[in-house]
Structure 1
Amino acid sequence: MQIQDLHSYDENRFEKLEASIEEYENVKGSIKTGMEDKEKIKRQKKRILEKFQATEEQWRDHKWQMAHRFETVEDIGDIIELSDEEKKQIEKVGETFRYAISPYYMALIDPDDPNCPIRKQAMPCHDELDETGMLDPMDEAGWSPVEGITRRYPDRLIIKVTNMCGMYCRFCQRRRMIGEHDVHVSKEVLVNAIEYVRDHDKIRDVLITGGDAFMLSDQSLDWLLGELRKIEHVEIIRLGTRTPVTLPQRITPELVNILKKYHPIYVNTHFNSQREITEESKEACEMLANAGIPLGNQMVLLNGVNNDPFIVRKLNQQLLKIRVKPYYIFHPKTVKGTSHFWVNMEEGMEIMESLRGRTSGMAIPTYIVNGSEGMGKTPIMPNYLLYMGKDKVVMRNWEGRPFQVENKK
């Protein structure tokens, strides 16, 4: 193996650097964000407003959005043209797996593209009837010391507070919890969960999730955050929410004012497609960021949605522009009814390889595989280590060029 002298001068080095991203630069304009395709989204929004005889003021109200979610084939068919076969498939899937799509998220679906990534995430399809997989592949039930809590790590845990979401994602890992009705966890369960945290002083980090943590009312969140913040050993409180993506109207000044009372507060959200980045989602994220709340993104790698290196690069670069740090790429879980979204691990590795060196480290998340039966998050990445010896280590850089460093004390 010949190791190149990296200090040798190459007069064309900068041209070569630019050439390494030329292919992406040539196609990124065709990978449109919601902001870049806003005229088509506006037309869909207008159709939805006309359908419900609604005003712009109502559209901006998250309660109106929740009350007018698309939950029938007939309503969806008023906005997206469906064949008779598609209607039958949606009705059939709906008998097993519930669906609901906020008017806002419905407007993001490109009616001219049957492979629209928003459509794939929101609308039921016959592939969901595939019985492959498990309803609880992470064995959350087996890692629950008390109702409402999942604990897999020594210093942190999650509290599930609701089964509600602005939109029920077709790949959801907790689709078993959705049921027929929207239900918040009872206050008794929450009180017991808080007591568990209080009684275990090794818990320093609490994640509130669901469902969607922001489906709780302002008053309920205020109470819950206040109770957790009273516990001295709880250092960090995180909230998991997809509302900036599927229901950005939920991010209100009143909500933000509640959250910032309880710093340090962190919010992780869930953009999977660049098309989900709109003026409304940008406004929601910036409102949170302006309140001093760090935002992270947890993308799920999904076949037909984002299993493409250039799509992920565009998404992550655009997320940074709205002040959201790409945090995780999750390998899809083997949840029953989601096999059409599964990808192989080589695809994830290829995406990670394509990011390093070709975009800022700020735009490079950690690729995570969740161990089955609650074994926890395990990071995987391309192998940059070629040889480790007593005196030296040989590695390769993002271009595949080998180099060595001393390995001495």
Structure 2
Amino acid sequence: MDTIASLFSFITTPVSWVIVQFHKLYGALFGDDTGWAWGLSIVSLVILIRICLIPLFVKQIKSTRNMQVLQPKMKAIQERYKNDKQRQSEEMMKLYKETGTNPLSSCLPILAQSPFFFALYHVLSAIASGKTIGVIDQPLLDSARQAHIFGAPLAAKFMDSEEKVSALGASLTDVRVVTAIMIVMMSASQFFTQRQLMTKNVDLTVKTPYMQQQKMLMYIFPVIFAVMGINFPVGVLVYWLTTNVWTMGQQMYVINQNPTPGSKAQDQYLNRVLKSVTSHGEVRGRTRRNTVKRIVAKGPDRNDIERKFITGLGKLGLAAQEDGTVTKSEAAVLEAEGGAAPKRQQPKRQTKAKRHTAATPPGTAKSSGSTDSEAKTSLEKQDASQDDKPKSADKPAASGSSRQAKSGQRKGPQRPKHPSKK
């Protein structure tokens, strides 16, 4: 333990100094020896560390967005090598290397705050053992040993013996009840954070290593915290409970304001934007305008949720612009209704009589004033001309029988048979 403590000595002194400074502030309000003064000092230390880690969190979000941009390519690789898992993994790693994307970037905030966690752990362990550490001298050590959080000493653990807990001025029942509640809350907050990430902020249409990793963390981390929590001092449990609650709130803000494309959270977010546009006739807020701007820039690469949003704007008679604003447009209404432009109808086909009439020259057409008697005379002349033709009833019709070939013979002129075949 001393060897591990020496490895983190470079961070132990700054951590103890920050705790002492916050203790001076809260000690003036609640008393130097109270659990509120020491407990709030640890909470303030967590908040300060997480604020310093915000740039790293932004980098994590950007890396996550790069993973989302690569999802169509990942899906294509999965479909192409669906029967060859090894080749699929090789192509995925090659894609990560070409784009500079790290699928393990979600662990960066946890890794970055690990040194502070170990430093705080050794500070509290030293307090429990009655040893000075960092800038915590003997008077501060005595004050910290007297501090109780809901009846549990700051340096007490769930697995401590009754004698050790009694030496800190508390009962074993109080210590185990308080630590058990804090362990359950710590594990539950960690599980809820990962669960809302998986159910709301992940595009489930594409299975990526990132999604599988988050699914694993959703079940593994709460178990790890529950198992390790029974060996944590109460002060460390306060630290982890605070950082988990901070992470949960930070994650909820990101899901609410900058959801993953194609996720359930994006559908809910764009529905809120559409309702706001319906009420005010414009896109309000810089964040929302940037979101609309990104959707417009995607063009045909939009997902189904983004196409639904553009269609909703079209039904309102609005069209999204490249700068993230919306303007009135009738073409958007037609496009949303499925009729971007009226189709040209083909003219109906005319009958043969109408086409003949249309093709007849005007000079040869009969006037509309011709009488019925003229039409009747023309019919009589036609009948008379037919009666004047000679009739040959005894002769068969040459046009029919002469042209018909006998059965078994080919039509047309016959070739003469060869003399040997006669």
TM-score by length of 1: 0.21
Bigger relative contact order, structure 1 or 2 (CA pairs below 8 A, ≥6 apart): 1
Greater share of strand: 1
**Structure with max Cα Rg:** 2
Q: Please, what TM-score do these two structures have when normalized by structure 2?
A: 0.21
